[in-house]
A and B are shown apart, each in its own frame.
Chain A
Amino acid sequence: MADYLNSYLFIGAILFTLGAFGVLVRRNIIVVLLSVELMLQGVNLSLGAFSTFYHDMGGYMLVLLSLAIAAAEAVVGLAILVALSRHVDEFYVDRLKSLRW
């Protein structure tokens, strides 16, 4: 099993789906951001597996880029959360309604 591309892609697909499900269903902003990180984990695993099984370095480089982007995304997301906590003391996405009609 460890010698097949399938198995890694399978695990990556499960992690990605769980992350997408968490983004759509959970209300807490922190858990939504954590679910985005979970999706990135699944994508990283698939990229690394493709790189290994196609004998190319491109996937590994994409994993590194995705790490940098995940860090940037987490930093900006949490900064928005801190700014939000200054204005409204509310951490649940469906109670923040000012952009909803």
Chain B
Amino acid sequence: MSDLACTWLGLMATIFGLGTVLLRSPVHSALSLVMVVFHVAGLFVLMGAGFLAALQVIVYAGAIIVLFLFTMMLLNLEQHDNEPHMHRYQKWLGFPLGGALLIEATWIALAQANPSETLLGKYSPERLSELGGTAFGIADAMFTSYLLPFEVAGVLLLAASVAALSLARKPDEDIMKAMPDMVSDAAGSMTQPSVQESKLNQSPTERGDNH
């Protein structure tokens, strides 16, 4: 039964992965990737990592792909439906080299035997599936042995959100044009040592002299 499920999920993930790469419309590619995510989540359930499967679906299908679809909607990508043809090199080298990479990767994957007893970690299979399948187990590992990577990931997400805001906002000239007074006010108040003194020099000409 689980063999059948594994074969089916792998087959469908491969088919939808092909769809992601080969479909012409980017919206269809994104929806195909959602199906890949669902099938990979199914494989996680089959391995006994149910909580990770749920996280996978929530983060990928719920956040990342939706972000892609929103961007496509905002940029009106469907109008640009004239994807150029492949280069000659891409056609004649891309497919053989892609096939070679596929053969190498599957060769290495199929050469992996199940690990021998001496290499196994400290958890019994039942305990591991209990830990990997629930929020308790994941949190227990995350906040003890893996605390530092967790904190680093938090810093990374903060940096990514700041970077996205500063990349995607309008260029600086527009902001300067929209509120020149506020910008010069901020610069002026920074050079003033105290509030009392800035109240003394309130006339605009003197403030202009100060900076």
Contact = CB atoms under 8 A, between A and B. Distances in A.
Contacts, number: 257
Contacts of A38: 17, 20-21, 33, 36
- Which 4 pairs of residues, A with B, have the shortest CB-CB distance? A56-B121, A72-B160, A9-B109, A13-B105
A22 B20 contact: yes
A96 interface: no
A95 B18 CA distance: 25
A61 B149 contact: yes
Main secondary structure of the interface of A (DSSP, over half): helix
Contact of A71 (B2, B30, B157, B165): B157
Interface size class of A (residues with CB under 8 A): 35 or more
Interface of chain B, main secondary structure = helix
28 contacts: A1-B3, A6-B114, A10-B110, A12-B109, A15-B13, A21-B98, A28-B83, A34-B30, A35-B21, A38-B33, A38-B36, A48-B47, A52-B128, A53-B115, A54-B120, A56-B122, A64-B52, A71-B59, A72-B159, A74-B64, A74-B67, A75-B67, A79-B164, A79-B167, A82-B71, A82-B74, A85-B75, A92-B83
Interface in A16-60: 16-22, 24-28, 30-31, 33-35, 37-38, 41, 44-46, 48-49, 51-58, 60
A82 B49 contact: no
Nearest to B81: A28
Contacts of B68: 30, 33-34, 74, 78
A68 B21 contact: no
Contact of B6 (A2, A15, A41): A2
A86 interface: yes
Interface string B18-30: 1011000010011
Interface of A: 1-22, 24-28, 30-31, 33-35, 37-38, 41, 44-46, 48-49, 51-58, 60-61, 63-65, 67-76, 78-83, 85-86, 91-92, 94-95
A58 B122 CA distance: 11
B112 A16 contact: no
Contacts of A78: 67-68, 71, 164, 168
Among B9, B68, B142, the most chain A Cβ lie within 10 Å of the Cβ of B68
A85 to B, nearest CB: 5
